[in-house]
Amino acid sequence: MDDNLLSNIEQELIGIRQLLWGSNIKQEIFKRWSQGFYFSTNEKSALEQAEGGPCAIIAPIQAFILKKLLSDYNGMSFRYRVTEEVQHKVLVNALCEILQQCSVGSYYVVVLKNYKVDVDSSGPSVINGEDNNSDMDTTSALDAKVFHNNLKVRLFPLMEDVQKYYNENIDSLKAQFGVLLFLYSVIATKGLESVKSECDVTDPLIDETYGYGSQSLINLMITGKGVTYVWDNFQDVGGLKLRGLDRQSEIGFITLMEHLRYCTVGSFYKNPIHPIWVLGSETHLTVLFSDEKLLVSPETKSEEARRVFKSFDPDGNNFINVSSLRDVLSALSLVSDQQYVNIMTKKLDSENLGIILLNEFMDEFFPKEESSVPDMFQLIHYNGLARSNVSKQVQYHYGSAILLESDLKSINDSDPMLTCLQTKWPNIEVQWCDNITPSLN
């Protein structure tokens, strides 16, 4: 039975290749994605990204690594206590957590047929029975065709088995095709048809021209669901019900593209379970995180009211049409019979403009507004591309954030980082270390 399953999955690899790359794979793009998982020598807990492209895999994995470290240590105390053993532990934990989100039972780990790594702590690793250090040319020269012709799948019934396998074959994760092999493992574990059914588009998950990962791929890595959109649940667009996230995410996601009106990020992503967010720009993914747990504490009633109100205000104008008032009140479990709604409409729209302002609504129903979020907190930014870091080395960049009392946000197109953060915290200001704003790109 297992042999038949493996045979079917290995046949499915052809479809996975098509789903990821399309009909033709550009060798230059394939080369950019052909890297292993390795940590910065300057920031021991931070993965490095060699070239543009695989941030769709590396940034979410980095987010799950940080989730584990922030949980196991007191705040940022882990920063100078990360050994190679800890690196291996948190990397394997992150990969397994992502696979677990995708699994409906068994786990499928994709490996290279002729690329076997035997871990021997007393000496160099062995590949194809030869010294790893003697000749890597045959492996590094693999093109896309040879790579795909040599893929095979290993079936594991339990997560403990996957964890054991990765721990015993950690060098295969660190080798040249570690990122790609894990990506294929994610889709094989999720199931090709399952991923395709969640995607609403027919384009490849890796852009054929520029090599960037699609939003569906990003969502798959963060949440285990390869949906195309980032809003909550379903939205009706032109009569079509388009699917977004169906639950609060472990890791958050906010993006500059929301400010540019290319998408609407829902509460499930903006308010994750852990204070860690993958940040999106037009071309790259980075990670923002904090050791302040109150950033993700349960919503107060007034925070819920603001969120619900804004769900009826997709353009971010801080007002709704009077026709939406009843739905807002109903969603908040407030009195919503028509007679009461008519009375409140006259009160909140005394000038008959046909709109109800957010501040007027909050003053009426939640006059003593409370907030679970502190006014000041620390933010830390990670960018896996060394060239995009301040010192041209991958290092965490610290900032001190403050939430201003005013709801009016200053739009500054020359500061994409602030603009991105304001899609989550409209009234935020951040003083970054050394007055240098980290790059989203």
Q: How far is CA 204 from CA 27, 51, 181, 196, 209, in A?
A: 16, 20, 17, 10, 11
| H or E element at residue 286 | strand 285-289
Backbone φ and ψ of 18, nearest 5°: -65, -40
Please confirm, yes or no, whether 55 is among the known catalytic residues. Answer: yes
Q: Which one is catalytic: 55, 199, 263, 420?
A: 55
Q: Which of 148, 274, 284, 397 is catalytic?
A: 284
Both tokens of 129, joined, read: 């029975």
Q: Is-catalytic flag, 284?
A: yes
CA-based torsion, 396, 230, 21, 208: positive or negative: negative
Query: Taken in order 383, 384, 387, 392, is the CA torsion positive or negative?
Result: positive
Instruction: Classify each residue of 160-178 as buried b or exposed e, where b means 16 or more C-beta atoms within 10 Å of its C-beta.
Output: eebbebbeebbbbbbbbbb
* Residue partners of 234: CB distance under 8 A and separation at least 6: 241, 242, 243, 244
The CB density around residue 410, as the number of other CB atoms within 10 Å, is: 12
Give the separation between CA 312 and CA 323, rounded to whole angstroms: 10
Q: Are 118 and 126 in contact (CB under 8 A)?
A: yes
Catalytic residue IDs: 55, 284
